[in-house]
A = this chain, B = another copy of it.
Amino acid sequence: MRETEAGDRLVASMALVVQKYGGSSVADAHSVKRVAKRIAEAKRAGNDVVVVVSAMGDTTDELLDLAQQITPLPPQRELDILLTAGERISMALLAMAINNLGVKAKSFTGQQAGVITDAVHGRARIVDVVPHRIRETIEKGQVAIVAGFQGVTTETNDVTTLGRGGSDTTAVALAAGLGADVCEIYTDVDGVFTADPRIVPAARKIDRVTYEEMLELAASGAKVLALRSVEYARRYGVPVHVRSSFSAASGTLVTAAEAAHTPVPGVIVTAPQEDAAVEAPIISGVAHDRSESKITVVGVPDVPGTAARIFEVVAGAGANIDMIVQNVSAAATGLTDISFTLPDGDGPGTMAALAGVQAEIGFASLQYDDQIGKLSLVGAGMRSHPGVSARLFGALRDAGINIEMISTSEIRISVVTREDSLDDAVRAVHSAFGLDTTDGEAVVYAGTGR
CB neighbours (8 Å) of A96 from chain B are 67, 70-71, 74-75, 78-79, 82
Most chain B CB inside 10 Å of its own CB: which residue of A32, A107, A133: A107
CB neighbours of A269 from chain B (8 A):
none
Residues from chain B with Cβ under 8 Å of A74 in the complex: 96, 99-100
Given A78-B107, A107-B78: A66 and B89 within 8 A (CB)? Answer: yes
The smallest C-beta distance from A21 to any residue of chain B, in angstroms, reads 15
A94 to chain B, nearest CB (A): 8
* A157 interfacial by beta-carbon distance below 8 Å: yes
Instruction: State the oligomeric state as a number of copies.
Output: 2
- Of chain B, the residue at the smallest CB distance from A93 is B70
In the complex, are the beta carbons of A89 and B93 less than 8 A apart? no
A112 and B70 in contact (CB under 8 A), knowing A78-B107, A81-B92, A92-B81?
Answer: no
Distance (whole angstroms) from the CB of A76 to the closest CB of chain B: 10
* Residue A204, interface by CB 8 Å: no
CA distance A93 to B69 in the complex (A): 9
Q: Given the complex of chains A and B, what is the CA–CA distance between A91 and B157 in angstroms?
A: 17
A315 at the interface (CB under 8 A from B): no
Residues of chain A at the chain B interface (Cβ within 8 Å): 29, 32-33, 63, 66-67, 69-71, 73-75, 77-79, 81-82, 84-86, 88-89, 91-93, 95-97, 99-100, 106-107, 109, 112, 133, 157-159
* Chain B residues near A75 (CB-CB < 8 A): 95-96, 99
Q: Closest B residue to A147 by CB, please name it.
A: B81
Q: How far is the CA of A89 from the CA of B84 in the complex (A)?
A: 9
A377 to B32 Cα, complex, angstroms: 50
Contact A93 B67 (CB under 8 A): yes
Question: Closest residue of chain B to A75, judged by CB?
Answer: B99
Check B95 against A78 for contact (C-beta < 8 Å): yes
List 26 A–B pairs whose Cβ atoms lie within 8 Å, in order of A's numbering. A29-B66, A29-B69, A63-B89, A66-B89, A66-B93, A70-B93, A70-B96, A71-B96, A71-B97, A71-B99, A71-B100, A74-B96, A75-B99, A77-B106, A78-B107, A81-B88, A81-B91, A81-B109, A82-B88, A82-B93, A84-B88, A85-B85, A85-B88, A109-B159, A112-B158, A133-B157
